[in-house]
Structures are given as structure tokens and as C-alpha cells.
């Protein structure tokens, strides 16, 4: 059976910590690296539901996209949601690893897979990192399609029925940018690269107005949907590399945002 250190080494290979943003908190955040692992759960976020699922299943390791703890933490008490979850996980002997923005930006990370899923070619980072790869991606479609057709493609790839859209449904798009999760700051780079459309997980109102003012069509599938698929792929990759470990993507986590 591999140890947490062995699995962490593969995760570091897939999503090198040097690609993470400065403000981020990535790597092994909780746990003993010498612990052996029989069960691992991947998830987008550690929530009461996903934490309970990992504990009930007897997982030794959670690989979560969003870090916990995320902010600098001086005390660990049950007064905060993060503290409560961490206390429960530690008591149950569950370690926590997060690659977050390193995984967003990695060569086979979330944004690369999203860009490939849309059928883009010549995919490159929107804001290249000095040590290779970088944040966001953009590329071109073989032939121009309408924004509405691109939306259909995105919905099929992510397995969702609805998304939010800024721009004219019939506008032609060929150069397309992607930024999973909350990545409003990448819109400027998409514009500079001449992209006619951009996929963001979510966007602030003023980012939507900025896109509209510049004729850039925006597709917003939701923060959850824009990243959750990658957590499922990651479970497959880990399971493939460590066949003796039972690896699954959390079956209990849900998008907290519902359509009313």
C-alpha cells in the first residue's frame, strides 16, 4: 500500500506547487505523510457532507480541490465551520491534500481539460507562468461557431443542463478563453489575445458588463460545474496509478447553488 507521501509525490508531479498562486495554500495540509493509504476520496470542497462521506467510508486521505484550511489559522476550534470539519477529520485520521490553483494551471489540469473539452486547438496559457504552463487557457476552434453552439458544447462536456450567458447567442466565435472557478481577472488577457468568447466558472456583474462592452461572449456554467468534472478525472488517474487503493470522487457533494 502506498503512503500519503507516495500519493503526494504523484500529485506534485501532476500539479507542481510552484504553479500555485501566491495567495494559495497547497500541498499536504493535514496529516502524517508516513500513513499508508487504502482508501482515498477526491472532492471539489470539504463540506459537512463530503467530510462525513470520507469518514464513514474509512478513507485515510481526501484530495480536495479547494484547500482547507485556506486562510492562515491560529486556532482550531469548533467555533468555525473549517475548524469543526478539520477537528472531525483529524479525529478520524483523515489527511487532507489540496493542489487548487496548481491543478487549475497544470499541463493536464482543469483549464487544459476544459479547453480540450471545447475542441480548442493550439491551446496555450492566458497568463503564462515563468516556470511553464500558467493560469487560464485559450485556443481556436477549427471553424467558427455561434456562442450558442459553444454553450451547447460546454453543457455536453460538463454534463449540465443550464448555464448563464453574456452576449448575442448568434455571434460567431473562434478564439475562446477558459478560466475555471472564479477567475474574473483573466478577462483582460482573453481580450488582449483577441478571444471572442470566454468560459468562466462564475463572474461578477461588472465583469459581465466589461465583457459585453468589449463584444466578448461569456459562458458561466457555475463555479461547481466548471471544476467538479476534473475532480472525477483525478480520481480515475489516481486509481489507475495506484490500483491497490480504492479511489472515488465524492458522491455526496452538490452545487450549493440551485435554480429557483
Query: Which residues contact Zn ion by CB under 5 A?
Result: 181, 227
Identify which of residues 94 and 99 has a Cβ nearer to Zn ion in the complex.
99
Identify which of residues 210 and 227 has a Cβ nearer to Zn ion in the complex.
227
**28 and 8 in contact (C-beta within 8 Å)?**
yes
**154 and 199 in contact (C-beta within 8 Å)?**
yes
Maximum alpha-carbon separation in the chain:
56
Minimum separation from the CB atom of position 106 to Zn ion (A)? 14
Identify which of residues 181 and 222 has a Cβ nearer to Zn ion in the complex.
181
Minimum separation from the CB atom of position 32 to Zn ion (A)? 27
CA 254 to chain centre: 14
Angle between helix 147-158 and helix 223-241 axes, rounded to 10 deg: 40
Identify which of residues 24 and 149 has a Cβ nearer to Zn ion in the complex.
24
Minimum separation from the CB atom of position 227 to Zn ion (A)? 5
Identify which of residues 69 and 181 has a Cβ nearer to Zn ion in the complex.
181
Minimum separation from the CB atom of position 99 to Zn ion (A)? 12
Minimum separation from the CB atom of position 45 to Zn ion (A)? 8
Amino acid at each position: 500500500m502506498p503512503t500519503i507521501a507516495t500519493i503526494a509525490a504523484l500529485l506534485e508531479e501532476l500539479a507542481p506547487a510552484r504553479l500555485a498562486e501566491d495567495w494559495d495554500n497547497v500541498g499536504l495540509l493535514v496529516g502524517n505523510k508516513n500513513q499508508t493509504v487504502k482508501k482515498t476520496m477526491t472532492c471539489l470542497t470539504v463540506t459537512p457532507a463530503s467530510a462525513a462521506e470520507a469518514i464513514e467510508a474509512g478513507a485515510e486521505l481526501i484530495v480536495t480541490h479547494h484547500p482547507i484550511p485556506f486562510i492562515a489559522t491560529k486556532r482550531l476550534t469548533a467555533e468555525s465551520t473549517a475548524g469543526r470539519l478539520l477537528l472531525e477529520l483529524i479525529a478520524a485520521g483523515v489527511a487532507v491534500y489540496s493542489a487548487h490553483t496548481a491543478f487549475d494551471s497544470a499541463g493536464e489540469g482543469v483549464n487544459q481539460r476544459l479547453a480540450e473539452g471545447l475542441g480548442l486547438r493550439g491551446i496555450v496559457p492566458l497568463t503564462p507562468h515563468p516556470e511553464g504552463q500558467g493560469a487560464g487557457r485559450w485556443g481556436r476552434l477549427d471553424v467558427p461557431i455561434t456562442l450558442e453552439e459553444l454553450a451547447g458544447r460546454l453543457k455536453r462536456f460538463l454534463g449540465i443542463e443550464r448555464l448563464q450567458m453574456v452576449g448575442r447567442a448568434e455571434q460567431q466565435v473562434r478564439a475562446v478563453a477558459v478560466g475555471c472557478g472564479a477567475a474574473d481577472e483573466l478577462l483582460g488577457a482573453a481580450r488582449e489575445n483577441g478571444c471572442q468568447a470566454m468560459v468562466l466558472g462564475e463572474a461578477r456583474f461588472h465583469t459581465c458588463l466589461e465583457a459585453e462592452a468589449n463584444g466578448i461572449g461569456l459562458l458561466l456554467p457555475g463555479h461547481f460545474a466548471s471544476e467538479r468534472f476534473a475532480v472525477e478525472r483525478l480520481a480515475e488517474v489516481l486509481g489507475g496509478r495506484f490500483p491497490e487503493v480504492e479511489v472515488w470522487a465524492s458522491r455526496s457533494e452538490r452545487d450549493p447553488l440551485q435554480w429557483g
